[in-house]
Amino acid sequence: MIKVGIVGGTGYTGVELLRILSTHPDVTLTAITSRKEDGLPVADMYPSLRGKVALAFSAPDKANLTECDVVFFATPHGVAMAQAQELLAAGVKVIDLAADFRLQDVAQFEKWYGIPHTCTDVLKEAVYGLPELNRESIKSARVIGNPGCYPTTMQLGYAPLLKADVIDATSLIADCKSGVSGAGRKAEIGILFSETSDSFKAYGVSGHRHTPETTEQLQRLTKQDVELLFTPHLVPMIRGMHSTLYARLTRDISNEELQALFIEAYKDEPFVDVMPFGAHPETRSTRASNMLRLALHRPNNGKTVIILVVQDNLVKGASGQAVQCMNLMFGLEETTGLHHVPVMP
Amino acid sequence: MIKVGIVGGTGYTGVELLRILSTHPDVTLTAITSRKEDGLPVADMYPSLRGKVALAFSAPDKANLTECDVVFFATPHGVAMAQAQELLAAGVKVIDLAADFRLQDVAQFEKWYGIPHTCTDVLKEAVYGLPELNRESIKSARVIGNPGCYPTTMQLGYAPLLKADVIDATSLIADCKSGVSGAGRKAEIGILFSETSDSFKAYGVSGHRHTPETTEQLQRLTKQDVELLFTPHLVPMIRGMHSTLYARLTRDISNEELQALFIEAYKDEPFVDVMPFGAHPETRSTRASNMLRLALHRPNNGKTVIILVVQDNLVKGASGQAVQCMNLMFGLEETTGLHHVPVMP
Amino acid sequence: MIKVGIVGGTGYTGVELLRILSTHPDVTLTAITSRKEDGLPVADMYPSLRGKVALAFSAPDKANLTECDVVFFATPHGVAMAQAQELLAAGVKVIDLAADFRLQDVAQFEKWYGIPHTCTDVLKEAVYGLPELNRESIKSARVIGNPGCYPTTMQLGYAPLLKADVIDATSLIADCKSGVSGAGRKAEIGILFSETSDSFKAYGVSGHRHTPETTEQLQRLTKQDVELLFTPHLVPMIRGMHSTLYARLTRDISNEELQALFIEAYKDEPFVDVMPFGAHPETRSTRASNMLRLALHRPNNGKTVIILVVQDNLVKGASGQAVQCMNLMFGLEETTGLHHVPVMP
Amino acid sequence: MIKVGIVGGTGYTGVELLRILSTHPDVTLTAITSRKEDGLPVADMYPSLRGKVALAFSAPDKANLTECDVVFFATPHGVAMAQAQELLAAGVKVIDLAADFRLQDVAQFEKWYGIPHTCTDVLKEAVYGLPELNRESIKSARVIGNPGCYPTTMQLGYAPLLKADVIDATSLIADCKSGVSGAGRKAEIGILFSETSDSFKAYGVSGHRHTPETTEQLQRLTKQDVELLFTPHLVPMIRGMHSTLYARLTRDISNEELQALFIEAYKDEPFVDVMPFGAHPETRSTRASNMLRLALHRPNNGKTVIILVVQDNLVKGASGQAVQCMNLMFGLEETTGLHHVPVMP
């Protein structure tokens, strides 16, 4: 059994890790830290876990994380980089769900996150945890930078087209929409029910942290310069993410060939579902599961291809993907503990 | 492996059966009928099941239901009673999620459902499928009338008090609230998003079919005459049911004794969670799981006890309970295939 | 023109006052205070008011409230009582939307609100601002305690029955449901979108501040002792309140007579709509308007009458009612500025 | 007083016309037709209108529409063109909220709407009812094709840029999101609460009727060939529309100059609000009002300008705009009856 620790178990990615890991057959939940909730049974904060998770939160210093086999950081950025070195030294693997180990370009990290990177040694060996594009490196990684939610959809949507070199990488437009849980479990007016329900808006249009992350990763797939316009929006739903990706085709290619690129790219992927050409995936078709679904469109058979991508932002966009990485890192079947059927309706 | 057939797999209880049964370790999904969708792969109608359910709908006459071990009816009332006899004769067990086998009082059935009961022979042997109150009979049953969603909450909420004879059974008030999925998947204006979202209303206040069903069952638990006032309401949420049950205490009893009645009644129940006295259970704490949670209140230590009960109306209130019955009927561990952790947030 | 000041214009009752008063033909918005937002144009915080409200927030000490004709307090309890005396001395009328001037029983106030009442002199002359039950007193009042949202529905629902002495006042049960805006505009986890959406729960079941307020007012209508069980619930909708009121009839009375009691009581009321016997009012039928609607039910022609009451908690339940009081206090037509047609869908 | 008839008053644009017109100071509601609901008081179907609209539905043949001054068609396409000629002959003006008089290109109409256009004579004189771009023609029009909801946002968003000739008209991308009320009040499974709530999807990506309408109108503003990619999405909210419009700049221009183009274009418009550069308009800031708000963005000061546009799809996107046209046609102040302050929260 893999002994698992979770740092920061009180947020949405934390409780989602608990939901997934509490039924994972090869995992023992060993420690969950929260400075503020030290001693509180997890199920007292999250009654959904009553009878499922017996653990209590413990203060970080009491948690004995170094006795775990792997520690997930479900924390704001800046936390994992402060503790990674000690854990690695003790032989503990690290999976950070925040941004500390996502961007290899330290200057970009410091610009967008506004803090110095204090752990660049570890960053160098960190592996970007998107299994569909990075599986082999993940298997042997000691530390994982788990992808952001939006970047997961953009990369898996654009990758087959960039690899096949059939689109103009300099004019990518990603119009993305996220459920409110993506903003986290924070006491902020802007994400109150009465502020976000029955309304819709864009945010961060002039610049968002997920742009440099996505650009850095997409750049690895093409020799063209990647220029990405990324526009996030807030949808009045709890979970779910829908990315509408636009790309200009640079050469003659039939719709069948386009579809074949995706079928081929993802034919062995357990968590990527290429839907029929022209389908309209709904976010709810992935709710509470690790599936990502996508479908291609080409209006008027013109020069622009549109890729519609959906996922559950808390699962494939965060905690599920992290567990998928863990499975790879520990030599388990990649889908272990991730067989949830999406909840519909 | 148990060969399972589902009649009427296109509604919400049908697709919920599919969600649950597709990962049930002892079940083979054998047939799903739909006259209208004959030949259509189930996953084409419900993309959430892509990769999870390979079956296609088949017309009832082609479905060979008699080769199944058990058939679930996820249909409107009147369907199961037309087919039960033939299935039973062929050795197939029957679990009806509609009302055909719920009410032993045929006159009540015919009054509230407006059709003659054409299968009273089978009705006589039918067992009311509420395991917590009826477990032994379910184990040996050939045909199950699966409880209504509201009645499940009312019975499990009132039962310990009625059995202990500490409340006035003639003045029960059940103020109940249901998510919209309880109204089914029907093309009706009244349950459109734009009609039900951001609003709240009562319905059926002057009389509802779940009153006679609940009364008949509660009457089995007490020598008093049961008089129940049941007021259903529609909540702008998909899943979830919350029943606020009021009862007048008829003798001196402390809050600790009240709580102990519930603890004792449900101490071995895997799907009933008695929360601490004074807790406020949320419907989401049961979302997509077979759990029912309840908590007691007694304002001002007065004469009225309030029982708050929550469940997912599609799971413990319908399809999960039906699978729980199936497990019992086939000698399986009662919780098999029902280990879903509630989805939160 | 009436010069109006608003203390605490940043919350939901404050912005709702602005929405209503900005088109009120006899009002000049003169001052809106907010210590925190001093200098910020109101429309910068609430873009819905762009082009409608030109005023900026000003710090309380700069606001010259004593030059107003009337000041509304859209603040937490405790604020109005600290300022009322000075305003009254300057000839300014006061309408408090919080609880400072609602409860004549000071001990009850101090018990439920946890602070000493520092302005009992003013409290003595304060008038409870429910025009349908208190119109004449309001007309001549200098200071108004504007009713709570829940109490408005409970009083208008029970009043005709208590006055006619046809129900048992000692066994009232009010099962009430409110939209989330009733909890205010506060940075609290419990009212986040991801916490309250797609879920339902009760709260404050063991005791709620609106119970003593309602009891004190209902007691004025009957010689019986009033005993009220009040159970509030949170509905995943922004605005709207639905109260399901239960009462035991104490004498023979026909449904027609019951209905006639309500028709008679409210026949001249512009903001109370008695719907046909047996109707199911929806909260949305009052959305963004000052209307309160109600309908009677009597299941099985039994001993219990049910009154269903709906309103918009921010309008008739708060800011609209306050403006209705203001109209009366200044000798205007009671409906002035309150002609909004409910927004549906 | 203007005598107004409404054909098809049972849908959402119909009831929204009623909400607006019932408080319009210069209008007498004269007739509302519905074949199915003949004789039913409008307020029985829509309790929100109780006390506000006394009219009953009447069958079309009894409605005496020819005695009206103007008739609104809040019907599916095909209805207005069958009745327009007779009404015009009787001196009645016609405002069609459907598509019959929107597209001057009959072939496009017949391709996208699948029926022959039977009233091309009237079509020739019909005026496209977008006051901000077409005010003078509307004033003298006898028949109005009221714009579609999406086209209103796209035209008002792109117009200043096309007129100034600073963008590439051949690569417009409009990623648009609409509330569910845009789909109408129809008994269809796809728009049930349980199907659309807590989910998000695109629809009609490969082709939508609003593309030819928008293209035809935009083409009037530029000598370039207009090529528009329009991607509609469904948002789980009742009202509201958000269009995220992308355009490639074709010449050097500062952000201040861009902003100035919009300020100048709309400086006298009562219903278009140009927000500060970089703002993020929310749909709720226009809820239940005739306002449209927009804001410009230019990520990285690059070659692409983004225009965010919001409106209430049932008001500025439909019924409010139709009343705005009516005001112009009858020589009234354009804003008459349209002073609603947006409802927030």
Q: Are C296 and C306 in contact (CB under 8 A)?
A: yes
Q: Which pLDDT value is given to residue C218?
A: 98
- The reply to whether residue C201 touches residue B282, judged by beta carbons under 8 angstroms, is yes
Distance from CA of B186 to the nearest CA of D (A): 6
Q: Which residues fall within 8 angstroms of residue B103, CB to CB, at 6 or more apart?
A: B109, B112, B145, B212, B213, B216
Q: Which pLDDT value is given to residue C260?
A: 98
Strand bridging mode A228-235 / A241-248: unpaired
- The reply to whether residue A197 touches residue C192, judged by beta carbons under 8 angstroms, is no
Q: Are D53 and D22 in contact (CB under 8 A)?
A: yes
Query: What percent of chain A clears pLDDT 90, i.e. is strictly above it?
Result: 97
Residue D14 is encoded by which pair of tokens?
């119909």
Q: Tell me which of A119, A149, A176, A325 is the catalytic residue.
A: A149
Same domain, A161 and A301: yes
What is the total count of domains within chain B? 2
Helix, coil or strand: residue C255: helix
Q: Which pLDDT value is given to residue D107?
A: 96
Report residue C137's pLDDT band, with 50, 70 and 90 as the boundaries: very high
Range of the domain at A35: 2-125
Burial label, B257 (beta-carbon count in 10 A; 0-12, 13-18, 19+):
exposed
Query: What percent of chain B clears pLDDT 90, i.e. is strictly above it?
Result: 97
- The reply to whether residue C229 touches residue B281, judged by beta carbons under 8 angstroms, is no
Q: Which pLDDT value is given to residue D309?
A: 98
What are the tens digits of pLDDT across the range C251-275?
999 999 999 999 999 999 999 999 9
- The reply to whether residue D177 touches residue A173, judged by beta carbons under 8 angstroms, is no
Supply the CATH number for residue A227's domain: 3.30.360.10
Helix, coil or strand: residue C237: coil
Residue D275 CA to its chain's centroid (Å): 21
**What is the spatial order of strands in the sheet that A241-248 belongs to?**
A201-202, A228-235, A172-179, A241-248, A304-311, A292-297, A272-274
Same domain, A191 and A266: yes
Q: Which pLDDT value is given to residue D63?
A: 86
- Residue written as tokens 């060979």? B64
> Which among B232, B230, B173, B174 has a CA at the least distance from the CA of B202?
B232
Stretch B62-71: mean pLDDT:
94
Q: Concatenated DSSP letters for A209-247? A: THHHHHHHHHHTT-SSPP-EEEEEEEESSSS-EEEEEEE
Q: Does A125 touch chain C (CB under 8 A)?
A: no
Same domain, D154 and D245: yes
Q: Does A12 touch chain C (CB under 8 A)?
A: yes
- Whether C224 maps to a domain, the answer reads yes
**Distance (Å, rounded) from C-alpha B21 to C-alpha B8?**
15
166-195 of C, contacting A, C-beta below 8 A? 179-181, 183, 185-189, 191-195
**Distance (Å, rounded) from C-alpha D184 to C-alpha B268?**
50
**Distance (Å, rounded) from C-alpha C16 to C-alpha C14?**
5
Same domain, D158 and D213: yes
- Whether C336 maps to a domain, the answer reads no
Subunits with 3+ C-beta pairs closer than 8 A to A: B, C, D
The DSSP 8-state label assigned to residue C301 in this structure reads G
Helix, coil or strand: residue C261: helix
Residue A269 CA to its chain's centroid (Å): 16
Helix, coil or strand: residue B248: strand
Half-sphere exposure (Cβ direction) of D267: Cα atoms closer than 13 Å: 6
> Which among D142, D112, D113 has a CA at the least distance from the CA of D127?
D142
- Chain B residues with beta carbon closer than 8 angstroms to that of C287: 198-199
Stretch B90-113: mean pLDDT:
97
Stretch D251-269: mean pLDDT:
98
Q: Which pLDDT value is given to residue C61?
A: 85
Same domain, D101 and D240: no
Same domain, D210 and D85: no
**Distance (Å, rounded) from C-alpha C265 to C-alpha C268?**
8
Query: What percent of chain C clears pLDDT 70, i.e. is strictly above it?
Result: 100
What are the tens digits of pLDDT across the range A222-262?
999 999 999 999 999 999 999 999 999 999 999 999 999 99
Q: Which pLDDT value is given to residue B299?
A: 96
Q: Which pLDDT value is given to residue D29?
A: 96
Report residue A264's pLDDT band, with 50, 70 and 90 as the boundaries: very high
Report residue A63's pLDDT band, with 50, 70 and 90 as the boundaries: confident
- Whether B324 maps to a domain, the answer reads no
Residue among D237, D298, D306 minimizing CB distance to A199: D237
Supply the CATH number for residue A108's domain: 3.40.50.720
Subunits with 3+ C-beta pairs closer than 8 A to D: A, B, C
Integer CA distances (angstroms), B304 to C214, C229, D5, in order: 19, 9, 56
Residue C141 CA to its chain's centroid (Å): 17
Cβ neighbours of A230 (radius 10 Å): 26
Amino acid identity, residue B158?
A: Y
Report residue B207's pLDDT band, with 50, 70 and 90 as the boundaries: confident
Q: Is the pLDDT of residue D207 over 90?
A: no
Report residue D117's pLDDT band, with 50, 70 and 90 as the boundaries: very high
**Distance (Å, rounded) from C-alpha C71 to C-alpha A188?**
29
Distance from CA of B83 to the nearest CA of D (A): 28
Is the previous residue joined to D41 through a cis bond, with omega within 30 degrees of 0? no
Same domain, D103 and D197: no
- Whether A142 maps to a domain, the answer reads no
Report residue C71's pLDDT band, with 50, 70 and 90 as the boundaries: very high
- Chain C residues with beta carbon closer than 8 angstroms to that of D344: 15, 19, 46, 48
- Whether C288 maps to a domain, the answer reads yes
Q: Does B240 touch chain C (CB under 8 A)?
A: yes
- Chain D residues with beta carbon closer than 8 angstroms to that of B186: 189
Residue among B188, B189, B238 minimizing CB distance to D198: B238
Q: Are D68 and D43 in contact (CB under 8 A)?
A: no
Question: What ipTM was assigned to the predicted interfaces of this complex?
Answer: 0.97
Average pLDDT, chain D: 97
Residue among D180, D188, D194 minimizing CB distance to B180: D194
- The reply to whether residue B197 touches residue D193, judged by beta carbons under 8 angstroms, is yes
Stretch D63-85: mean pLDDT:
96
Q: Is the pLDDT of residue C113 over 90?
A: yes
Q: Is A149 a catalytic residue?
A: yes
In chain A, which residue's Cα lies nearest the Cα of B50?
Answer: A273
Stretch A204-218: mean pLDDT:
95
Average pLDDT, chain A: 97
Q: Which pLDDT value is given to residue A61?
A: 85
Report residue A60's pLDDT band, with 50, 70 and 90 as the boundaries: confident
Distance from CA of C226 to the nearest CA of B (A): 14
Q: Are D148 and D178 in contact (CB under 8 A)?
A: no
Mutate to test the interface with A, among D192, D201, D301 (most CBs of A within 10 A): D201
The DSSP 8-state label assigned to residue D226 in this structure reads P
Q: Which residues fall within 8 angstroms of residue C337, CB to CB, at 6 or more apart?
A: C20, C21, C23, C24, C25, C26, C27, C323, C327
Q: Which pLDDT value is given to residue C6?
A: 97
Same domain, C111 and C206: no
Q: Which pLDDT value is given to residue C335?
A: 98
Half-sphere exposure (Cβ direction) of D11: Cα atoms closer than 13 Å: 21
Same domain, A58 and A180: no
Distance from CA of B189 to the nearest CA of A (A): 18
Residue B274 is encoded by which pair of tokens?
């008695």
Same domain, C107 and C172: no
Report the sign of the C-alpha dihedral through residues B254, B255, B258, B259, in that order.
negative
pTM here? Answer: 0.97
Q: Which pLDDT value is given to residue D238?
A: 98
Q: Which pLDDT value is given to residue D58?
A: 94
Report residue C316's pLDDT band, with 50, 70 and 90 as the boundaries: very high
- Whether D210 maps to a domain, the answer reads yes
Q: Could you tell me which residue, B90 or A60, shows the higher pLDDT?
A: B90
- The reply to whether residue D193 touches residue B189, judged by beta carbons under 8 angstroms, is no
Q: Is the pLDDT of residue D168 over 90?
A: yes
Same domain, A115 and A174: no
Secondary structure (H, E, C), C103-163: CCCHHHHHHHHCCCCCCHHHHHHCEECCHHHHHHHHHCCCEEECCCHHHHHHHHHHHHHHH
Q: Does C300 touch chain A (CB under 8 A)?
A: no
Residue among D177, D198, D244 minimizing CB distance to A237: D198
Residue among A51, A275, A341 minimizing CB distance to B19: A341
Q: Which pLDDT value is given to residue A9?
A: 84
Q: Which pLDDT value is given to residue B172?
A: 98
Same domain, B159 and B279: yes
Q: Which pLDDT value is given to residue C18?
A: 97
What are the tens digits of pLDDT across the range D12-68?
999 999 999 999 999 999 999 998 899 999 999 999 999 999 999 999 888 889 999
Q: Which pLDDT value is given to residue D9?
A: 84
Q: Which pLDDT value is given to residue D61?
A: 85
Distance from CA of D101 to the nearest CA of A (A): 25
Query: What percent of chain D clears pLDDT 90, i.e. is strictly above it?
Result: 97
Residue among D47, D238, D342 minimizing CB distance to C48: D342
Integer CA distances (angstroms), A206 to A230, C24, C47, D305, in order: 9, 39, 20, 10
- Whether C335 maps to a domain, the answer reads no
Report residue B60's pLDDT band, with 50, 70 and 90 as the boundaries: confident
What are the tens digits of pLDDT across the range A144-198?
999 999 999 999 999 999 999 999 999 999 999 999 999 999 999 999 999 999 9
- Whether B288 maps to a domain, the answer reads yes
Integer CA distances (angstroms), B276 to B176, B269, B341, C307, in order: 21, 16, 20, 32
Helix, coil or strand: residue A80: helix
